[in-house]
Amino acid sequence: MRWWFFARQAHVLLPATLLLTLAVVLTARDRAIPVPTFGLSGMMEVVFLLFAPLPVAAALLTCLESRQAAAEVTGIRPVARYDVLLSLSTVLAVTAIGLLVGVLTDATEVLALGRNTAFLVGLMLCVYPFVGNRAAAAPLLWVLAVLYLGFRPSKDPYPWTVIPEPLSAPHAAVSAALALLAGLAAQTRTSRRLP
């Protein structure tokens, strides 16, 4: 397992990304930023934390792409299991950061960080078998689609958007769980196949 861990560069990339996420969450918390929209006239304010899962997803994919191809294809180590564990532990670590900061600072938007990360990582892992390392763009494209097409004129998000939904929205939690489970299943089936 040690060989796999160092080959994936998880000992460098993920702690740095988690520290970055913690810094962003502590600084941004419930702050909103203005963004232009297509469906609404002018600008609309969205919570900055919608962007927080993007570096996490990119770092995770970088780790999953860092591989020793010959050793993984011919070896007997359970590489697929390790990769799934890495993805799941990354999502759980971000969820813990969100819960910890949310509880300590009474910032309600931070509590949805884990759900949003699970959804975007799951989406990325679902796309990964088809497009390889370009799957890193999937979470970004989803966030952009949400920002530009995901809000009604009353500035209420459509149900399909998932990430801007309030923490109390059960369909968003179910969607995030299903996306993550589908992504982990796709990752399990395609881990040894090199794109």
Q: What is the pLDDT of residues 98-115, one digit of tens each?
A: 999 999 998 888 999 999
Average confidence (pLDDT) over 168-188: 95
Separation of alpha carbons 183 and 120, rounded Å: 10
Of 39 and 132, the structure prediction assigns the larger pLDDT to 132
Which range is least confidently modeled, 11-15, 36-40, 133-137?
A: 36-40
Which range is least confidently modeled, 13-22, 62-71, 111-120, 186-195?
A: 186-195
How many C-beta neighbours within 10 Å does residue 8 have? 23
In the structure encoding, which two tokens stand for residue 42, read together?
């002018």
Q: What are phi and psi of 123, to 5 degrees?
A: -60, -45
Query: What pLDDT sits at residue 160?
Result: 94
pTM of the prediction? 0.91
Of 193 and 147, the structure prediction assigns the larger pLDDT to 147
State the virtual CA torsion across 169, 109, 187, 131 in degrees, nearest 10: 100
Please provide the distance, in angstroms rounded to a whole number, between the alpha carbons at the two ends of the chain.
22
Q: Which of 20, 23, 22, 12 is nearest to 63 (CA)?
A: 12
Average confidence (pLDDT) over 46-74: 83
**Highest mean pLDDT (candidates 39-43, 76-80, 87-91):** 87-91
Whether residue 125 contacts residue 108, with contact meaning beta carbons closer than 8 Å, is answered with no
- The structure tokens 């591989």 sit at 67
43 — pLDDT class (breaks 50, 70, 90): confident
